Amino acid sequence: MQMYIKKLANATENAFADRSMMLGENEELFRQNCEKEVRASTRAKKVGTARVMKYEDILKEQELREKKESKKRARPGRPKKKQLEPDQQKQNPKRRKYSERDTAISEIAASGLEDYCSVMEF
């Protein structure tokens, strides 16, 4: 009787081992199948003409293509004015209607030195 129980125990151990191996193999095949579907669903990107290219050249071509595509997607209409960076704004100040003499007089008045300074015109 003990021999039958040992055989039954060995058979169940073998069955569980086979089952776990099959589950592992099944999971691996399922993962590979999912990867295959993802690769098949992504669109192949054509970069330039068929030729041997360096990696840097491929990146440049992709950037150019993306710029072209973004221009196509941009809404038509009136172009916006370019905003100058702070350094450029200092170099190109907006011209006002005041003359240099008027600005100098206003600066002197703002500093409170009207009694000590004057502006001469030539």
Tell me the one-letter amino acid at 121: E
119 band by pLDDT with thresholds 50, 70 and 90: confident
Q: Round to the nearest angstrom and report the end-to-end CA distance of the chain.
A: 129
Query: 62 Cβ partners below 8 Å, 6+ apart?
Result: 45, 47
Residue with tokens 């907006």: 94
Is the pLDDT at 91 greater than 70? The verdict is no
Q: In angstroms, rounded to a whole number, what is the distance separating the alpha carbons of residues 94 and 89?
A: 8
Give the pLDDT confidence score for residue 25 in this predicted structure: 94
Is the pLDDT at 56 greater than 70? The verdict is yes
pLDDT, one tens digit per residue, over 11-28 is 999 999 999 999 999 999
| Residue 24: both structure tokens together | 């592992």
Least confident of 14-18, 44-48, 61-65: 44-48
Least confident of 46-50, 52-56, 59-63, 117-121: 46-50
Is the pLDDT at 75 greater than 70? The verdict is no
Q: Read off φ and ψ for residue 120, nearest 5 degrees.
A: -105, 145
Give the pLDDT confidence score for residue 100 in this predicted structure: 79
